[in-house]
Amino acid sequence: MFNAPVCFALVPCAGVGLRAAAGGPKQYATIKGRAVVAHTLQALQAVPRLSATLVVLSPEDTVFESHVPSFSGPRCWVARCGGATRAESVAGGLQALRERGAAETDWVLVHDAARCLIRPEWVDRLIDACWEDPVGGLLALPIADTLKQADTESRVADTLDRSAKWLAQTPQMFPLGLLQRALQSVGAAVTDESSALESMGLKPRLVLGDIENMKLTWPGDFALADRLLDTR
């Protein structure tokens, strides 16, 4: 049991990544000779204020260790309790953290396995901004492009006001107990943790992220991530 609030990273890694067309789960696609999730976990392990990183896998996953052999040690945890949706995997991971001694008030930073360009300094920025916040918050970017609403035929139906609109990223950082209750209340349909807290009337803090903190989703994203890694 930890005596004072600490931070844990939670990485849901049970998805199949169908949109990526990567021939398998996108977190195991290779960039620069390493699995996508290996890049992600390396960055998280470089954040000293994270007491541990928990990777949530599908119960049927038998290949994680072979793709990420370097993920080992006292700060590297794995739980095969992932569900059919992101929310179910995060909920299972929160319970696994509880079973490992995490407390109600400990911070949990949920991060997408496929955001492999995350930098430790961005994680530190989020922790600095949210540590004293009663709700928590998330990395995000103000939307700069013009937004179009499509109709059923993929034609422009409307141009939307982009002012005060942000693109949500991860990590998303919330107190463990609060996030656990929010997910129990809202169910499995939410696509990010902030939405679960918003459903309770809470207002998570928006913390400036970075344009490179992209989530690999479409086939072209992998080539772009490969080029960006070349610049580091």
User: Domain containing 82 — which CATH number?
Assistant: 3.90.550.10
Predicted local distance difference test score (pLDDT) of residue 191: 92
Q: How far apart are CA 146 and CA 123, in angstroms?
A: 28
* Residue pLDDT, tens place only, 158-177: 999 999 999 999 999 999 99
Angle at 94 between CA 142 and CA 57, to 5 degrees: 90
Based on the structure, what is the number of domains in the chain? 1
For residue 217, is it within any domain?
A: yes
For residue 206, is it within any domain?
A: no
**Cis preceding linkage at 134, omega within 30:** no
Report phi then psi at 179, rounded to 5: -65, -40
pTM higher than 0.85 for the full model?
yes
For residue 1, is it within any domain?
A: no
Predicted local distance difference test score (pLDDT) of residue 20: 47
For residue 2, is it within any domain?
A: no
Residue 23 has pLDDT above 60, yes or no: no
Residue 157 has pLDDT above 60, yes or no: yes
Give the range among 19-33, 46-60, 83-97 with minimum mean pLDDT: 19-33
Predicted local distance difference test score (pLDDT) of residue 18: 47
What is the share, in percent, of the chain residues with pLDDT greater than 70?
95
For residue 165, is it within any domain?
A: no
Residue located via tokens 């609109």:
165
Residue 21 has pLDDT above 60, yes or no: no
Predicted local distance difference test score (pLDDT) of residue 56: 98
Q: Which residues contact 100 (CB under 8 A, 6 or more apart)?
A: 52, 54, 77
Q: Reduced to 3 states, what is the DSSP secondary structure of residue 175?
A: strand
* Residue span of the structural domain in which 182 resides: 7-132+171-201+213-230
